[in-house]
Amino acid sequence: MTWQLTVDDLDDLARGATLLGTGGGGDPYIGRLMVQRAIEQNGSITIMDPDELPDEITVIPTAQMGAPTVIMERIPAGTEPVDALRALEKYTGRIAEATMPIECGGINSMIPLLVGAQTGLPVVDADGMGRAFPELQMETFNVYGVQGSPLAIADEVGHSFIVDTADDTPKMEWLARGATIRLGGAAHIAEYTMTGRQAKDTAVPRTITLALKAGRALRQARESHGDVISILSAALNDTLYNKVVPLFEGKVVDVERTTDRGFTLGHALFTADDGGELRITFQNENLVAVRDGQIVAGVPDLICVLEADTAEPITTERLRFGQRVRVIGISTPDMMRTPEALNVFGPSCFGLDHEFVPVEDSAVR
């Protein structure tokens, strides 16, 4: 069902997007403020259900790229995503009839909404990661046959970049990352130009709705002082993310975090009152969680850190020594767990040497 997104949805959406950012994705705070102002100026945003997308229309996803540590501190002008979209249209000659998120976690839940509000384009209720991932080739779009290139990058003074690597999407990422680093560590992009048919065939469906549901559930858990696992489980029960698994309760004892090669890299260590420990390794996003020497969750499944008292999701760059947290795992849709998908964003794609084990299986070991 196609629906209208209003200012009232934004708090829950941002909270849900932070959860789906699995520690990364870039803090959606500033993006949410920009979307709010754009809606106040231009009216609500049309969120188009993928089932209702005409096959022939042109969909151009829009996003921000960069290290979350930089994104948090660098305020965009607000014109960049549309500039990137227009630069790509100029280069390809294909005019966008809808935009779409490339990832449903973090800041990139907001950027396509900003484009929708500023241009009047509908935003497809779907995305290419089903969460947040650190690199541009890590897209279901790419897994299922859409070319990422050409890509356009725009900065806050209207300068732009076109990267055209034909069918070599990892090289597109490599070159775009280099440009982003030279632009100061964050920039806005348009890429993966596709048809409505391709969007239906390759995107993870209804993930804007998913973020809204998840954010609403976390708020309800906080307001009702109820159990976050059961409330979130109930909310996600009719989605493709229907297994919510408790992984750990404890406090932050160590965070090591560097910004390198254009990414936020490092790990976080948590200990429980009974002496157990959990270690999470991240590249922008949480990649793998190891409890007492045993892997309990790993990419592409979601590893989410919640503040124990408030059930608010905490991004990696906001983790602080002594915070009491609850760590949960959430299963991802089947289309993100196929051999082709694991080939693009499974553990080996991050240099991890373990096989993927679904969070619902590994956590009970």
Please give the residue ranges that form the binding site for a second copy (CB under 8 A).
87, 90-91, 157-166, 168, 171, 174-175, 177-179, 181-183
Compute the least distance from the CB of residue 88 to a second copy, in Å: 11
Q: CB–CB of 235/214 below 8 Å? A: yes
Q: Label the pairing between strands 324-330 and 58-59.
A: unpaired
Helix 10-20 crosses helix 207-224 at what angle (to 10 degrees)?
A: 100
Peptide bond into 61 cis (omega under 30): no
Compute the least distance from the CB of residue 344 to a second copy, in Å: 20
Structure tokens at 38: 């754009």
Q: CB–CB of 17/32 below 8 Å? A: no
Measured from the CB atom, the residue of 62 and 109 that comes closer to a second copy is 62
Measured from the CB atom, the residue of 62 and 316 that comes closer to a second copy is 62
- CB count within 10 Å of CB 43 equals 12
Compute the least distance from the CB of residue 121 to a second copy, in Å: 23
Q: CB–CB of 307/314 below 8 Å? A: yes
Compute the least distance from the CB of residue 217 to a second copy, in Å: 42
Measured from the CB atom, the residue of 67 and 110 that comes closer to a second copy is 67
Measured from the CB atom, the residue of 3 and 91 that comes closer to a second copy is 91
Measured from the CB atom, the residue of 170 and 246 that comes closer to a second copy is 170
Compute the least distance from the CB of residue 110 to a second copy, in Å: 26
Measured from the CB atom, the residue of 93 and 275 that comes closer to a second copy is 93
Measured from the CB atom, the residue of 29 and 91 that comes closer to a second copy is 91
For residues 24, 282, 70 and 147, what is the CA-based torsion angle, rounded to 10 degrees? -70
Compute the least distance from the CB of residue 184 to a second copy, in Å: 11
3-state secondary structure 255-324: EEEEEECCEEEEEEEEECCCCCEEEEEEECEEEEEEECCEEEEECCCEEEEEECCCCCECCHHHCCCCCE
Compute the least distance from the CB of residue 167 to a second copy, in Å: 10
Would you give the distance in Å from CA 196 to the centre of its chain?
21
User: 333: phi > 0 → left, psi -120 to 50 → alpha, else beta; which?
Assistant: beta
